Chains A and B, each alone.
Chain A
């Protein structure tokens, strides 16, 4: 269901030549919202990588004498502590790390499946295309949640790290459908162009043409879609956490923190506000950046 949210992406035509990328970069840099977002995303990524190492508290450090205290400068609990006496700064930083990791990794999984699938279907056309796209139609008609729940339970493991890998796989395995459709459309537009013909005349095998010549040329719209898809996946993970299938202790994610925090909304609102605000900032920055990229790569506006 969530993948439908981004069908509005207006896909630029295939990008030709390096100068257009250079052009796009210049256009992106002229968009103030996108530039600010770029810095925000960079800062968040740095915080996610180094924050949990550098911060004075660890995520599982428990202070029995400081349970659920409001944000204060005493002991530097600037975001307060949770109902078990753990520092919220440490937990939010770690949650950010896991959420971004899920966003990037699951997008990568979806990207790999979707690009390969769409390019093959579009390039070979005919019965192959018809069959492959019918499968996509069928998968669209199965509710996303059901799919993910079953995939998540296929391997029953107590190991939180294996569980995390499973989340990447499960979300990636349902998010590639729209990607495949976009790539297929682009490939159909490209497959009769001169450079493909030239490659064929030079004796390239079909698979070689698909992956060496077609795929690099459809990456423009794919990058835009992927950027806009990361926030969708972060939200999907928070939904999984909400139904208890997401990240497991001792790990945590922003979605899990939000879901825990919404239960404590009245007696410890900071437990909700801190992770929710962090997630909002991250999602906003990524959406503005994605929008900026789309505008920058859209040849219609040039």
Chain B
């Protein structure tokens, strides 16, 4: 298993390299550049700016230069925020996005798994139908509707929670409660559906029939024997999904006015801030690859069938 993990880690290097080249070419294929919007700057200055950032070089040389910088841990300067480096911008936004995404996923796993198990144990009964109907509704509610509504009722009308903005003072986390809730709703919906389906299947398996035949108490059958098998699909889903939510959500960060990297990516892509786009894309690819690997390893650890062999 260690060899397998090592092989996958090594395989991640060419993948990231191809991601860099692909994203770089795609970014440069889009019309316009970081300095073209400012028509008031004279040609000469625009050329000089481009030369300063190496944009006058052939695209191949630019990629080599960029990767060379990366090897030294240098993500380059931002092309729009003149006095900041990409590393600084990401360091400012990433913690908020990461805390937000991680908490949302933790909450979703706890609630979603609980609801899914409940629905599976009460299959085709009222509780099951209720949970599954809620799950479908959860998938159907876009954050750009839920966000403003929660903000209005809980934040503005009832004044229970701050409705927007993150001030890192003593109660910083309070500002994240509504965003976490909004972000976790669709995750809860998906996880509960996954959990229900796999739990139903696990409960029908021979391993569970054996456990019951041995006369184990029902809760022990469910928690100790069925749950580890039933969790497997949830884990394969949760890895990449966690990478997705941790790398920021534009809608959530905009609605609740939070400083995250999801917003930065969209703005940077629209303004052709090449280096910043590449920086956030790299963070995302790194998370996706890392969490995919992590969820695969966890899969193997939990799966009794692969453990035996």
A interface list, Cβ under 8 A from B: 1, 4-8, 10, 134, 137-143, 145-147, 149-150, 153-154, 156, 231, 235, 238-239, 242-243, 255, 258-259, 262, 265-266, 272, 276, 279-280, 283-284, 287-288, 291
Which of A5, A7, A154 has a CB less than 8 Å from the CB of B186?
A5
**Do the beta carbons of A143 and B284 come within 8 Å of each other?**
yes
Give B156-193 interface residues, CB cut-off 8 Å to A. 186, 190, 193
Q: How far is the CA of A242 from the CA of B253 in the complex (A)?
A: 13
Q: Within 8 Å of chain A (Cβ to Cβ): is B59? A: no
- List chain B residues, Cβ under 8 A from A265: 148, 152
Q: How far is the CA of A242 from the CA of B145 in the complex (A)?
A: 11
**Do the beta carbons of A143 and B265 come within 8 Å of each other?**
yes
**Do the beta carbons of A140 and B141 come within 8 Å of each other?**
no
Q: How far is the CA of A6 from the CA of B194 in the complex (A)?
A: 9
**Do the beta carbons of B136 and A284 come within 8 Å of each other?**
yes
Interface membership of chain B positions 21-38, coded 1 if the CB is closer than 8 angstroms to chain A and 0 otherwise: 011001101111000000
**Do the beta carbons of B144 and A242 come within 8 Å of each other?**
yes
Instruction: Decide: A239 near B22, CB < 8 A? Known: A4-B237, A143-B280, A146-B281.
Output: no
Q: Within 8 Å of chain A (Cβ to Cβ): is B205? A: no
Cβ of B28 to closest chain A Cβ, rounded Å? 10
**Do the beta carbons of A287 and B26 come within 8 Å of each other?**
no
We find that the number of chain B residues with CB closer than 8 angstroms to chain A is 48
- List chain B residues, Cβ under 8 A from A143: 247, 265, 280-281, 284
**Do the beta carbons of B270 and A149 come within 8 Å of each other?**
yes
Show 18 residue pairs from A and B whose CB-CB distance is below 8 angstroms, ordered by the A residue. Answer: A8-B190, A8-B193, A134-B15, A141-B15, A141-B16, A145-B250, A145-B266, A145-B269, A149-B270, A153-B31, A231-B140, A239-B144, A242-B254, A243-B266, A255-B142, A265-B148, A272-B148, A279-B140
Instruction: Decide: A138 near B15, CB < 8 A? Known: A8-B194, A153-B31.
Output: yes
Which of A141, A262, A266, A287 has a CB less than 8 Å from the CB of B145?
A262
**Do the beta carbons of A140 and B288 come within 8 Å of each other?**
yes
Which of A140, A145, A279 has a CB less than 8 Å from the CB of B265?
A145
Q: Within 8 Å of chain A (Cβ to Cβ): is B251? A: yes
Q: Within 8 Å of chain A (Cβ to Cβ): is B19? A: yes
Q: Name, among B22, B136, B233, B250, the residue most crowded by chain A CB atoms within 10 Å (CB to CB).
A: B136
Cβ of B3 to closest chain A Cβ, rounded Å? 19
B interface list, Cβ under 8 A from A: 15-16, 18-19, 22-23, 26-27, 29-32, 136-137, 139-142, 144-145, 148, 152, 186, 190, 193-194, 197, 233, 236-237, 240-241, 244, 247, 250-251, 254, 265-266, 269-270, 277, 280-281, 284-285, 288-289
**Do the beta carbons of B280 and A272 come within 8 Å of each other?**
no
Task: Name the residue on B nearest A294 (C-beta).
Answer: B197
Cβ of A118 to closest chain B Cβ, rounded Å? 18
Q: How far is the CA of A5 from the CA of B32 in the complex (A)?
A: 34
Q: How far is the CA of A181 from the CA of B285 in the complex (A)?
A: 19
Cβ of B249 to closest chain A Cβ, rounded Å? 9
Q: How far is the CA of A258 from the CA of B289 in the complex (A)?
A: 34
**Do the beta carbons of A142 and B142 come within 8 Å of each other?**
no
Task: Name the residue on B nearest A235 (C-beta).
Answer: B142
Which of B144, B247, B270 has a CB less than 8 Å from the CB of A238?
B144
Which of B29, B190, B285 has a CB less than 8 Å from the CB of A142?
B285
**Do the beta carbons of A146 and B18 come within 8 Å of each other?**
no
Q: How far is the CA of A284 from the CA of B8 in the complex (A)?
A: 39
Which of B19, B145, B148 has a CB less than 8 Å from the CB of A138?
B19
Which of B139, B145, B233, B281 has a CB less than 8 Å from the CB of A5?
B139
**Do the beta carbons of B140 and A4 come within 8 Å of each other?**
no
**Do the beta carbons of A141 and B237 come within 8 Å of each other?**
no
Q: Name, among A231, A243, A272, the residue most crowded by chain B CB atoms within 10 Å (CB to CB).
A: A243
- List chain A residues, Cβ under 8 A from B140: 231, 279-280, 283-284, 287
**Do the beta carbons of A258 and B145 come within 8 Å of each other?**
yes
Cβ of B12 to closest chain A Cβ, rounded Å? 9
Nearest 9 pairs of A and B residues by beta carbon:
A283-B140, A1-B244, A141-B285, A8-B194, A149-B269, A262-B148, A287-B136, A143-B284, A153-B30
Instruction: Decide: A8 near B197, CB < 8 A? Known: A141-B284, A287-B140.
Output: yes
- List chain B residues, Cβ under 8 A from A266: 152
- List chain A residues, Cβ under 8 A from B32: 153
Task: Name the residue on A nearest B187 (C-beta).
Answer: A5
Instruction: Decide: A7 near B236, CB < 8 A? Known: A143-B280, A287-B139.
Output: yes
Cβ of A100 to closest chain B Cβ, rounded Å? 15
